[in-house]
Structure 1
Amino acid sequence: MSFPRYPQYKDSGVEWLGEVPRDWEVIPLKRVADFINGAAFKPSEWAESGVPIIRIENLNGGENFNYFSGDLDPRYIVEPGELLFGWSGNRGTSFGPYIWSKEGRYALNQHIFRVVFDGLDSQWFFWSLVAVTSHVEDQAHGIIGMVHVTKGDLGAIKIPFPDEREQRLIAAFLDRETAKIDELMDEQEKLIALLKEKRQTVISHAVTKGLNPVVSMKDSGIEWLGKVPQHWEVAHLKRFCLEITDGAHISPDTEAGVYHFVSTKDLSDDTIDFEGALLTSESSYEYLLKTGCRPFLGDVLFSKDGTIGRTVVVRDEREFVVASSLIIIRSDTSVLDADYLNFLCKSFLVTAQVESFVKGAGLPRLSIQNLLKVLGVFPPKNEQEEIAAFLLGKLTQFDALIKATESAIDLLKERRSALISAAVTGQIDVRGLIKDEQEQAA
């Protein structure tokens, strides 16, 4: 859908803005708002009760709060509906404006600005800050992963300012149009969740019931598992493995990094992201070889810290070592196919047992000792290979659908971002697209 433009434009004098409507002003943020940084609360000042402290993770939906019970400077008090701006953290997640919606009185932590302004439509100003967030990130200082922007840099950014009536209209237009896009994205997210659930159901059925619908069945001896094929064996994973060990319990020597040092974060979508992995030195690698931290072709890597149960089969002869957040499962290839083992570890049969063993509230962990207690279902080797081949083909279809849906979400996100930017910079004339509710009420 195309939108109308304003009749006349002028050069804004700002490279990232380009042209803006002729009657709009272009002024720096510091002229219309004050950015008040939160307090630097020390861990020693945290209390069991009192005023909850808003941190970056709370802006992103986290429900865990620290508390402060001392005298609080009014500058750091946040009430419902106030505009905040995260200015330090990870690109794409921690930067940008947030309207604080929780009821009650909160304290603001450092790395977050409380945005104080007057004479502006608050929702319009929120959308304007959303539009400049990508520009803010481009200007941020710091290394990849952790960056920040100074109050001075943020205040110096120039944005276009229409009159208050147009501010209201732009805000109402964006509220309406982004709600439509958000609803579409929510539907796509639900579809992905359903596809992933169906994907795991297909895996679980294949590795617990087999591919033959008329095969003779027997009681598995596990109440919640039910029956399994008559000729299959129910046993602990360790029975069919040569070795189950975890990775290095030392940090990588990155000063002279040569060999990849892979951890949980580097496992995704049944692949290992070597490009994103840390590197460790040759001497460190030689030491870790002796401790059994190097996987080999056909080994299954199983994440045991943080994100638990993520698995991948090692499919090349690359020399690398793994961190303690991963478990190396080396199957006895005479009786256990690596791909079948990988699918078994992804099935409800294994994940349900693993979840019952997980410990830790802050960083969930699974011990090797508990993984050794996990039961699996094992058909003969040739049948394992048939099941693995079936699943590899079947899951390709699911993965293609999931990827297509993710691409659709990315396009919707791009459209949302472009729409916000176009509206707040005056590339769309919204005056005939939305009704001014205040004027109607008058």
Structure 2
Amino acid sequence: MTFPATWKTYKLGELAQYINGRAFKPEDWGTTGLPIVRIQNLNDPEKPFNYFSGSFMEKHRIDSGDVLLSWSGTPGTSFGCFIWDRGEALLNQHIFKVIIQQDVILPEYFVYATNSRLDEMIDLAHGAAGLRHITKAKLEQIEIPVPSLDEQGRIVTRINDCMARVEEIETLRASSQLQQQYLSASLIESELHPDLVDSEGWATRIVGDLVTTVRNGRSIAQDTEGRADGAVLTLTAVRSVDLGVGYEKPIVLPDTVAQQFDIDAGDVFVSRANTIELVGLAAVAMEKPERRLIYPDLLIKLKADRSQVLPRYLAYALRSAGARKQIKARALGSSQTMVKISGERLREVSIPVPSLAQQEQIIIRLDAAHELIGQLQSESQSGEIEALRGAVLRKAFAGEL
């Protein structure tokens, strides 16, 4: 750890008191009272709260401005230090309320400095690969550099400025990716819309008349004990028209389940639950996976009636602007961040269907366009946002900002 000679080094235990949250049980949860802050609420502001209306100890109450530190969960996603900004609430277990010595260190500086030591924190944690925790004793031994309060204020201002630029990059990248998704849908629409091409031999058909199978998958909990003998796809597998069989998580897979929910070449998979912009995305399996791999409950498998429609054409057609509009209209959910479409509603979606020979030609043209769009997406993803954030913190606590 290199930093200016005028800075001091403190252990986290010398800078603050750490008060663990309450071990709320599911039977404590309600719909009224104070919100219970769990780790998921720190990592994702969109996650819903559970509530508690009973009596509680003052040490478990938090309010805006309090510093929180999550010390248990999945490495890379669950560990972290935060300043709470959503009002009065109650703290769940596995999160410390941090009472800082503010005559020595500023809260924002403490948060940034602690987050710059997350890798060390995770290395000191115990447990399985997917679920670990660090003891309070080990946490308190982690060291951070601490300059004067004035210098801390200057560093916090510089970090905030740099992080704002990173957020701008992330927003632009997300906007670019969404535009590329719309571009893809529009290109597909131009190929599939009978008004824009030779419409001879075209017919409008509903999905239910073009498939022989519509079936949800099976979700199995991820194996964290090294006993996995199979895998299940994740929702990310359908982000592209080609099924991403590398997007998976390890599971213990019974033979009967492996047979019932297997994946064959030509199977089309549709996401049945996601955000409004991503629900209903379709992808086709290019070949049968060699390993034991199934699809999850959040994906619907369609088997195309190949006498009427080619599987890859069906996947492309479901990604067209016209089909996407129908899917969004049929998706149900109270929040735009999570909506669902059932197999029955998916059957009702209509698509234009030409002859098989025409479908083959359309697939060739769309594959070429899809390759170009994929190159655009790769370029827009080349800068890793988390790597940028990490670089900002490393420079800040080396005295280089």
Query: What's the TM-score once normalised by structure 2's chain length?
Result: 0.86
Contact 1:259–1:285, Cα closer than 8 Å, also in 2? no
Q: Give 1 or 2 for the bigger CA radius of gyration.
A: 1
The 8 Å contact of residues 210 and 387 in structure 1, kept in 2 or not, is answered as no
2:352 aligned to 377, 400, 406, which one?
377
Deviation larger for 71-80 or 251-260 = 251-260
| Separation (CA, whole Å) in 1 of partners of 2:297 and 2:136 | 40
Instruction: Judge which range, 59-68 or 321-330, deviates more.
Output: 321-330
Q: Which deviations, in whole Å up to 9, do the C-alpha atoms of 1:244-265 show, x marking residues without a partner? A: 3333588899997655544546
**CA–CA distance in structure 2, aligned partners of residues 251 and 151 of structure 1:** 29
Counterpart pick for 1:318 among 265, 276, 289: 289
Answer whether contact 1:267 1:273 (CA < 8 A) is retained.
no
Say whether 1:93 aligns with 2:64.
Answer: no
Task: State the AA in 1 paired with 2:150.
Answer: R
Return closer, same or farther for 1:199/1:356 CA change in 2, 3 Å cut-off: same
For residue 294 of structure 1, the aligned residue among 227, 248, 262 is 262
Q: CA 1:111/1:256 → structure 2, altered by over 3 Å: closer, same or farther? A: closer
1:11 alignment counterpart? none
Superposed CA offset, 1:12-57 (max 9, x none): xxxxx1x332222222100111121111122222233221221222
1:235 matched residue in structure 2:
205
Counterpart residue type for residue 90 of structure 2: A
Q: CA offset at residue 400 of structure 1?
A: 1.0
Q: Percent identity?
A: 26
Within 2, Cα distance between the matches of 1:249 and 1:135? Answer: 33
The 3-state SS of whatever aligns with 1:52 is: strand
Q: Secondary structure at the match of 1:53?
A: strand
Deviation at 1:182, TM superposition (A): 2.4
- 2:45 aligned with 1:61, yes or no? yes
**Is 1:328 equivalent to 2:312 in the alignment?**
no
Distance 2:307 2:159 in 1: 62
Q: Which residue of 1 aligns with 2:182?
A: 197
Alignment check: 8 A CA contact 1:38 1:110 kept:
yes
Letter in 2 for 1:317: K
For 1:397 and 1:279, the matched residues in 2 are separated by 35
Query: How far 1:266 sits from its partner (Å)?
Result: 4.9
Q: Distance in 2 between matches of 1:142 and 1:256?
A: 16
Counterparts of 1:141 and 1:233, CA distance in 2: 61
AA matched with 2:68: L
RMSD of aligned residue pairs (Cα, Å): 2.9
CA deviation profile, 1:50-82 (whole Å, cap 9, x unmatched): 212212222121252222212231212212122
In structure 2, how many angstroms separate the alpha carbons of the residues matched to 1:54 and 1:392? 46
Identify the residue that residue 46 of structure 1 maps to in structure 2. 29
Aligned-residue offset at 1:381: 1.3
> 8 Å contact 2:116–2:390 — kept in the other structure?
yes
Q: By how many angstroms is 1:90 displaced?
A: 2.6
| Amino acid of the structure 1 residue aligned with 2:325 | A
Change (3 A) 1:197 1:63: same
Within 2, Cα distance between the matches of 1:313 and 1:88?
A: 38
How many Å separate the matches in 1 of 2:294 and 2:153? 57
Amino acid at match of 2:59: R
Over 3 Å counting, the alpha-carbon distance change for 1:323 and 1:170 in structure 2 is closer
1:188–1:35 CA distance, 2 compared to 1 (3 A): same
Kindly report which structure 2 residues correspond to 1:175-214, keeping only aligned pairs within 5 A, or say none.
175-209=160-194, 212=197
Q: What are the residue-to-residue correspondences of 1:126-141 with 2, within 5 Å?
A: 126-141=111-126
1:111 aligned to 2:94? yes
In structure 1, distance between residues paired with 2:354 and 2:330: 25
Report the AA paired with residue 212 of structure 2.
Answer: L
More displaced, 203-212 or 243-252?
A: 243-252
The answer to whether the Cα contact below 8 Å between 1:261 and 1:280 also exists between their aligned partners in 2 is no
Per-residue deviation, 1:191: 1.9
Partner of 1:345: 318
CA apart distance, 1:341: 0.6
Deviation at 1:332, TM superposition (A): 2.4
- Residue by residue over 1:368-426, the C-alpha shift from the partner in whole angstroms, topping out at 9 and shown as x without a partner, is 33322222211111221222111111121111111111112x1x542331221222233
Query: Which residue number corresponds to residue 378 of structure 2?
Result: 403
Letter in 1 for 2:93: Q
Q: In 2 relative to 1, CA 88–287 (structure 1 residues): closer, same or farther, beyond 3 Å?
A: closer
Q: Separation in 1 of the partners of 2:13 and 2:255?
A: 52
Q: What is the distance in 2 between the residues matched to 1:107 and 1:33?
A: 20
Secondary structure of 2:3 counterpart = strand
Q: Secondary structure at the match of 2:173?
A: helix
| Count of equivalent residues | 389
Q: Secondary structure at the match of 2:280?
A: coil
What CA deviation, in whole Å up to 9, does each residue of 1:88-116 have, x standing for no partner? Answer: 223332221111122x3111111221111
From 327, 343, 348, the counterpart of 1:354 = 327
**Unmatched runs of 5 consecutive residues or more in structure 1:** 1-16, 216-228, 431-442
- 1:149 lines up with 2:134 in the alignment: yes
Question: Judging changes above 3 Å, is the alpha-carbon distance between structure 1 residues 131 and 310 closer, same or farther for their aligned structure 2 residues?
Answer: same
The counterpart of 1:271, out of the listed 243, 247, 263, is 243
